[in-house]
A and B are shown apart, each in its own frame.
Chain A
Amino acid sequence: MSDFIRVQAHLCIGCRTCEIACAQAHDGETQPGGPFYPRLKVVKREAVSAPVMCRQCENAPCVAICPTGALVQGKRSVEINDALCIGCSGCVMACPFGVIEIVNPSGQEGVQPVKCDLCCGHESGPACVAVCPTAALEKVAGGEVAQTVTMRRRTTAFPGR
């Protein structure tokens, strides 16, 4: 099962530090007014603020619709292969969470899909998780989901003990 990032919205204070950390982790030092492509977006509404990003679905519609294999169902995440992207925007349309974007980074040729890759190239793990001042973000390993299910089932079977 894929890993993913879990958000506890009630902890989010809307500081957008995660966005900056994400953009830096992927594209290096950002310049004011320069390209800024964080892979997650802090959404602010009256009652709630929360970062939203790719859920690394197991049966991902973005993968299903991608005609070139630029998005593939990997073992631990939905993986991106920039070089294959033709910018058809199919994935952007398909994603029910609105967390994929097609960008054309200035100074570079071609287009690329931008979505959370769990900072797969970084040993220290997702930058957003590391930087969040209130620990509202948490990386969940795929295997932990099955454990959570088992634990909840146990509590359902034998409540309160």
Chain B
Amino acid sequence: MNRFITVDARECIGCHACEVACAVAHNQQAWPEKTAFNPRIRVVFRGQESVAVTCRHCNDAPCVDSCPVAALTRREQEIHLDEALCIGCKNCVLACPFGAIEMVTAQQRGIARKCDLCESTPQGSPACVTHCPTQAITLMDGSTLNALRRRRQQATATGDFGGTQTPLRSHTLLLRPERKGAAKLPADQRKSHFNEIYQALDVRQATSESERCLYCADKAWCNWTCPLHNAIPDFIRLVNQGDILAAAELCHQTSSLPEICGRVCPQDRLCEGACTMQPRGGAVSIGNLERYITDSALAQGWRPDLSAVQPRPERVAIVGAGPAGLGCADLLARSGIQATVFDRHPEIGGLLTFGIPPFKLDKQLLQTRREIFSAMGVRFQLNCEIGRDVAFDALLEEFDAVFLGVGTYGLMAAGLEHEDAPGVVQALPFLIASTRRVMGLEDDPQTPFIDVTGKRVVVLGGGDTAMDCLRTSVRSGAASVTCAYRRDEASMPGSKKEVINAREEGAEFLFNVQPQYIALDRRGRVKGVGMIRTRMGEPGPDGRRRPQPVAGSEFVLPAQVLIMAFGFQPHPMPWLARNGVHCDDWGLIETDGSTRTSHPKVFAGGDAVHGADLVVTAMAAGRQAARDIVSFLDEQAECKQEARR
């Protein structure tokens, strides 16, 4: 009689803890790469119901009969798959009636994969069983199966099926109040200033929010989904125990700017979107708690403790003080390496400081962070542009390694006539100029301030940057603010909560409209934008449906200021190619799959490598670069020692 994994559908809460446990157990307890997440157990959903499905280890398994190379064999108490023998013929996949065998790519080979009852892991016993928070998953064998039958036979004989059954563990576990989350200032109040709109949690609120966390597992679906794999269940547990300093310490192990991620991450798409409680009264307010932990710890005087760090002789230059550069500098400092960060702006943060408006992120935070990083030994050279104030060659000569976290500052043109007319402005310069005024910095001629007071503002685009422009215009006293987006509302790429906030603050939305031309008045200033209505057509290569223009639906949308928010693309950096750092056809820096570029001493990460993306993905790339740089410097040091011998 084979052993097998069985799942009690009534107890499954769809938390994915089994999938994560399986993937981690088969990867030496480490997080797998995003693209190599191939758990041997899968949770299947239908509405609110969920059940995990995996191999049944059939006693007369059809997969074994179908295998031409004996990769699948009957062993004592299990069906064994020897991946080394698999030729990827897919016979077993077609033979299995449960869909429990999958084709995966491992070491560049297409092979079949299925549950091995964790016999190949050091633990040896099934990880899904150990980690299921409701004990919905159990390992059965001949004797447990017989015991079950005997229990049922006895119940049948006595007629006592346990009428008053004990309540389900899943029901008890899921009994939690509804999400409250952080309070938001009322819209008419926040429209008049640039202060943050979300209020901090107090101790009582934080405790009650933390009580909603189920602690699905230490490695749960939320921290798998987080690009930094923050230890979310554990830091929430520490909040619940009132140990803020330990929680802050834990947050800083995986993140360089937790209080900032807590504010600007699109949690609804990441950790909170993955929360088991999400469809059950709302996700745990992970973002608010993350902000609460670091804000409170810093206010109590907590600072990162680097006293145990052994200083190293190497020095690394970091180009760009955005989230990628800061992530890299943070980890380098924690490895004892001297990091010097160069940035052309007068404050650290990059787009965090100048691209994200102050009502989403208080600029004081970056100043505090600069002080913390400086105390950790990171040096900052601000107002210093590589290629203008300092030559890139000089960095290569002076430092042991260079990290490029330069972001993407190139602007996407819409390809419309008169895009350079007065009154037409790109989103990023508009936001930078506005933020500089709020921060009390003087105007920068490269990003001239645009006064929208009393004007009709139209923003083209539907992402988070478009929402920032809308809400900045509202606060700057525009007469009317309209967003024009070529797809429907459901297709908007950004965070839903930003759309809600913009709408609350009085922004108007026009969906399914596509700009065709920019209309000018007699003095050559913009007076409107010619639009055509669209309907959603067939999906394009990216899977998103393409908007199709509707003939005869043209109209002119009046506008005195037209803001183009179509996203970012790489900006030209001729000094890269001159020094042997290759870029691809789009201008993105080429790496070897890690963060190494074509120049042995140069590493790169963040938007400049993977294209415009989130703060948190940039930070994750910067931190990865720091790890790669440390191993590069270790190799160099070893080589030097070899040479001396």
Contact = CB atoms under 8 A, between A and B. Distances in A.
Interface in B94-114: 94, 96-103, 109-111
A153 B69 contact: no
A55 interface: yes
Most buried by B among A4, A6, A145, A149: A149
Contacts of B98: 152-153, 156
A154 B46 contact: yes
Interface string B32-72: 00000000001010100111110000000000000011000
Interface string B609-641: 000000000000000000000000000000000
B493 to A, nearest CB: 25
Contacts of B100: 153, 156
B110 A58 contact: yes
A148 B9 CA distance: 22
A111 interface: no
A159 to B, nearest CB: 10
Contact of B94 (A58, A61, A145): A145
A131 to B, nearest CB: 23
Interface residues on B, range: 20 to 34
Interface stretch (B84-92, B215-223, B298-306): B84-92
A61 B69 CA distance: 10
Given A1-B103, A157-B51, A158-B51, A59 B110 contact: yes
B53 A145 contact: no
A60 B89 CA distance: 8
A151 B100 CA distance: 11
Contact of B88 (A60, A150, A153, A158): A60
Given A96-B87, A153-B53, A156-B100, A1 B94 contact: no
A136 interface: no
Most buried by A among B89, B102, B110: B89
A63 B103 CA distance: 18
A137 to B, nearest CB: 15
Nearest to A63: B87
B483 interface: no
Interface string A1-42: 110101000000000000000000000000000000000000
A128 B170 CA distance: 53
A86 interface: no
B44 A59 contact: no
Contacts of B97: 152, 156
A146 interface: yes
Contact of A146 (B49, B51, B91, B103): B103
Contacts of B51: 157-158
A57 interface: yes
A150 to B, nearest CB: 7
Contacts of A61: 69, 87
A145 B87 contact: no
Contacts of A153: 42, 44, 53, 98-100
B93 interface: yes
B44 A152 contact: no
A158 B46 contact: yes
A2 B97 CA distance: 21
26 contacts: A1-B103, A55-B91, A57-B87, A57-B88, A57-B89, A58-B90, A61-B87, A96-B69, A96-B87, A96-B89, A145-B93, A146-B102, A148-B93, A148-B99, A153-B44, A153-B53, A153-B98, A153-B100, A154-B46, A156-B97, A157-B9, A157-B51, A157-B52, A157-B53, A158-B44, A158-B49
Leading 3 A-B pairs by shortest Cβ distance: A58-B110, A58-B88, A152-B99
Interface of A: 1-2, 4, 6, 55, 57-61, 73, 96-97, 145-146, 148-158
Given A58-B111, A157-B9, 7 more contacts: A6-B94, A58-B88, A145-B90, A153-B44, A153-B99, A156-B99, A158-B51
